[in-house]
A and B are shown apart, each in its own frame.
Chain A
Amino acid sequence: MNEFLKGSKLPSFQKPAITREQLALYARASQDNNPIHLDEEVAKKAGLPSVIAHGMLTMAFMGEYLYFILKHLGWDGGKISKMSCHFKAMVFPGDEITIQGTVKQVTNEKLECEIDAINSKKEVVAIGTGVLSSH
């Protein structure tokens, strides 16, 4: 499979538009109740245009993406060994995030990839890496 070549593009993965209800759910699930994600007034007083999504929600999308890639590679018993994310731009309710990856290093048992999270305006909102093991 060409996915096993360094520099190959991995399949992309699109998430539905982020909603405010989703941010409230994510705050409960993650126990990150920073009001800039939940309260419009607080967000604006803090100099933000509106509430913003948790950066970790974008990283959670990347986590799901890495499972998607494990499945794509047929590494059903595989696991995520490492992942990192650098948050580049704010994500807002209404944004549809697409996650895409590129193979960085690969062996029969390990795949390291670079991951981009891109919003509907094709702006990169986060970049990251993932290391997957086949078992």
Chain B
Amino acid sequence: MKPKHLFQFEWSFTQEQAALFFKAVSWQLPDRLGVPPTIATVFRKGEFEILNLLQIPLKQVLHGEQEYIFHKNLEPNKIYRCETILKNQHEKQGSSGKLRFLVFSTKVCAEPELLRDVKATETNESYVECVTNIIVRDVSK
């Protein structure tokens, strides 16, 4: 069954962006091994596209949880083929209004045909798998 909300995209980051990321994090270690691991956050583009599609304003969005499984080192200037799926969503009444919880899963690969291949993960052909839990606050009250 095809997931209801799915967004595929090609994405990349530059060496300069990785350098800016190190600076923004106030990276203190003298050795910079490749790129900062959480630069994988640039692949949240798919989440932002789906949030936009769902007409959820960013100002209502808080980040609940994040997970990364790294299979291969990310490299600057490489074109990655990515797929983001809205895996799950539910609502809950909080003390300050209704809260909506969304779970996104993003797979980052080099080759587009691997995106749909469940074996790609097992054979380490994906670079990173990302799972993001988002909380949407009701700010109308």
Interface residues of chain A, those whose CB is within 8 Å of chain B, are 13, 15-16, 22, 25-26, 28-36, 42-43, 45-47, 54-57, 59-64, 66-68, 71, 79-87
Contacts and interface: CB of A to CB of B under 8 A. Distances in A.
A84 B70 CA distance: 11
Contacts, number: 117
A48 B42 CA distance: 25
Interface of B: 17, 20-21, 23-29, 31, 33, 36-39, 41-42, 44-45, 58-70, 73, 96, 137, 139
Given A59-B38, A63-B37, A84 B25 contact: no
A22 B24 contact: yes
B41 A64 contact: no
Given A29-B21, A46-B60, A64-B28, A83 B33 contact: no
A49 to B, nearest CB: 14
A84 B66 contact: yes
A80 B35 CA distance: 12
